[in-house]
Structure 1
């Protein structure tokens, strides 16, 4: 995809929640937002930030400095950030060339990832691998306080998962649900790769077209977040069991994130 006219771009800072630079982070929503900007060739910088400073108390959020505005604008929630940047003309609409059926397919796949799989992964990270996740997610909080805050986070996530429904299943049942989803996504990508015109060169896309759509930002992000997270060991094994998932994410990383450290194969 061609880069946008940088002379008209606002200055964008993405607050990612972690201080590492030159690396992907564990949050799929951060990776999604970064991928969305890079697909369009939009430049940005990164910073740590904090949920306390975020408009909706969520990571990621961005600071947008536009020459036409007297003060910077803070925007939160990856989906709403992308929508706002499209409306401003900063980002192109990736789905504008899709027909009704393809648009519905794209929306359904994003919902599967963000409204279903996300909670299965949250259970794996925060319930099954609590201490690893706590110390990574709450890295900025001194240890004695981190224990207390971690207990509060655990209680809130447990209640959320129970209310959402995931917490009502056993760990084995949730693992089976996760595997079924990844197995289906792998089959989709196998079909998409078979349509790829350039063979082993360059990325191929989830819906089988010549350009990315919105679902590619989500799917790439979820794969990457699992490959680098030590709090998702079972899901990481699942991803690594499907070579096409690795190939899909690897090609996107190589083209759009050459400056970032890559996961080990």
Structure 2
């Protein structure tokens, strides 16, 4: 994807951790960073805090005034939260392109379905097993997540049932990537995309985020072991990493 010229743009991504030059555990942080890098938009990172985050969510960004922002939205400093809403707002301000603008209606629906599969089902199955994360995120946040899991049904499943569901999702995504890679016109080292097109879509930002999260989160060793059994997922992540995140430390082999 062509890099856009946004020399006046000044964005700070607050990721919850410092760890400059490294991925963080949150798939939504990685998703947001991928969204910006796919567009060639420069940014810096910082830890930030939940107390300052709009909506009380990580990631969030600080966007400093640019001439590309509509006059009615122009402020010296704007805080935006939620990875999907951040991307939508920045696209409306013409800071980043709309990745799905050229998709046919059926492709757009497919993209939405894949994103929902990752963020509304796989996400909950990952949280359900990361017991040590209670120590990291705090008991209060953990209780909120537990209530959410119970409310949407995931909290009622046994660990074996949750694992089976998670593996089914990884298997389906891996199979789709095998097909997309075989149909891709990209070179052997170039990224290929989940819908099989020449450019990434919104679903790719989510998928990359969740694959990286599973690979680096030592609180979920079962997830790390599982995902390493899907070669297409690993190849997909490695190609994107090499192209768009060469300055970041790679996950352990």
Long gaps (5+) in structure 2 = 68-73
Match of 1:6 in 2: 6
Following TM superposition, by how much is the alpha carbon of 1:199 offset from its aligned partner in structure 2, in angstroms?
4.1
Corresponding residue SS for 1:134: helix
Please report how far the alpha carbon of residue 90 of structure 1 lies from its aligned counterpart in structure 2 after TM superposition. Answer: 0.2
Corresponding residue for residue 103 of structure 2: 98
The structure 1 residue matched to 2:79, chosen from 74, 79, 82, is 74
Structure 1, 155-164 or 22-31: larger mean CA deviation: 155-164
The answer for the alignment partner of 1:85 in structure 2 is 90
- Once residues 219 and 161 of structure 2 are traced to their aligned partners in structure 1, the CA distance between those partners, rounded to angstroms, is 19
Instruction: Give the distance between the partners of 2:28 and 2:233, measured in 1 at CA.
Output: 18
Deviations, residues 91-136 of structure 1 (Å, cap 9, x unaligned): 00111111111111000000000111101101011xxxx2x3234x
- SS of structure 1 residue aligned to 2:80: strand
- Residue of structure 1 aligned with 2:178, choices 190, 212, 232: 190
Q: Which residue of 2 aligns with 1:240?
A: 228
**1:110 corresponds to 2:98:** no
Q: Which residue of 1 aligns with 2:163?
A: 175
- Corresponding position of 1:22: 21
Equivalence map 1:193-208=2 (5 Å): 193-208=181-196
Work out which of the residue numbers 191, 198, 219 in structure 1 matches 2:207. Answer: 219
Count of matched residue pairs: 247
Give the conservation status (yes or no) of the 8 Å contact 2:6–2:95: no
Pair 1:160 & 2:148 matched = yes
TM-score by length of 2: 0.94
Distance 2:89 2:143 in 1: 33
Q: The residue matched to 1:85 in structure 2 has which SS? A: helix
Q: RMSD in angstroms over aligned alpha carbons?
A: 1.2
Q: Distance in 2 between matches of 1:79 and 1:223?
A: 18
- Distance, in Å, in 1 between the alignment partners of 2:111 and 2:59 is 22
- The residue that corresponds to 1:145 in the other structure is none
Once the two structures are superposed, residues 127-184 of structure 1 have per-residue CA deviations (whole angstroms, 9 ceiling, x without a partner) of xxx2x3234x34xxxxxxxxxxx33333322222111110011010000000000000
Q: Which structure 1 residue ranges, 5 or more long, are not aligned?
A: 139-149
SS at match of 1:73: strand
TM, length-normalised to structure 1? 0.90
